[in-house]
Amino acid sequence: MSGHSKWATIKHKKGALDAKRGKIFTRLIKEITIAARTGGGDPDGNPRLRSAILAAKAENMPADNIKRAVQRGTGEIPGLQYEEISFEGYGPGGVAIIVDATTDNRNRAVSEIRHSFSKHGGNLGEPNSVRFMFSKKGVIAVSKDVADEDTLMGIVLEAGGEDLNDEGDTWEILTEPNSYEAVAQAVRDAKIETVMSEITMVASTYTKLEGAVAAQMLRLLDALDDNDDVQNVYSNLDIDAKQLEEVAG
């Protein structure tokens, strides 16, 4: 696999193989609640909330669920108080990992995430030990079956996108975070279906793993993904798509 955002592609191919809708909804509700708490309940004036609501709608979350999550965030109705924590560390083979958690119990989250790293051949690092390798970007992936390069390049140039990468069976549009919504809307307006569309962390360099070490790394990612406190996991893992499917399957 090649290109700047290969982990975004890996993550979503992996997610397509073992998606758990309940977990997706839980994460989205937490994100909406935090966004409303920190920036207010009006999505027009709160870009983080606006993005979270769009992501929830893309997963077909009922409107009532979205409304209640916003109201919990603004304090209109009671709910758990969440705290955001970020972890950095290394997985098997030296793969850099960032874990974002949203939890109502900090001690539990720290203990469980530390345990996952140590159990699966990784170790937690100090703050900023790996974050310098990543930058926040909008990533919009489109199957090559539904759009050609010229069409997407036109959207990138007109809507303010940054780059268009060939990722094998998909095209991936990269944007700066402040341009993401405009580019994503341009893709929707063109009636182009996306494989993924989100603001994520994109690594500047990648670590290629194979064989048993790659399998161990995927087990670590699974353990982190299965943690109810974990919102997002970012990595600079590069792995052959065939092995990814074999291990995930």
How would you classify the pairing of strands 83-90 and 230-235? Answer: unpaired
pLDDT of residue 3: 40
Question: Domain coordinates of the chain in residue numbers?
Answer: 85-132+205-248, 133-203
197: nearest Cα among 129, 135, 137: 137
pLDDT by residue, tens only, the chain of 249 residues? 334 445 555 665 555 544 555 678 888 999 999 999 999 999 999 999 998 998 888 788 899 999 999 999 999 998 788 899 999 999 999 999 999 999 999 999 999 999 999 999 999 999 999 999 999 999 998 989 999 999 999 998 999 999 998 888 889 999 999 899 899 999 999 999 988 888 889 999 999 999 999 999 989 998 998 898 999 999 999 887 777 777 655
Q: Which CATH superfamily is domain 133-203 in?
A: YebC, transcriptional regulation domain (3.30.70.980)
Q: How far apart are CA 50 and CA 11, in angstroms?
A: 23
Residue 232: how many other CB atoms lie within 10 Å:
18
Distance of CA 249 to the CA centre of its chain: 21
173 with 159: CB under 8 angstroms?
A: no
220 with 122: CB under 8 angstroms?
A: yes
Report the CATH fold assignment for 85-132+205-248. Answer: Alpha-Beta Plaits (3.30.70)
**Domain 85-132+205-248 and domain 133-203 have a common topology:** yes
pLDDT of residue 9: 59
Q: What angle do CA 107, 110, 113 make, to 5 degrees?
A: 140
Q: How far apart are CA 226 and CA 243, in angstroms?
A: 21
Dump strand ranges (E) for the chain.
83-90, 96-103, 123-124, 134-143, 163-166, 170-175, 196-203, 207-209, 230-235, 237-239
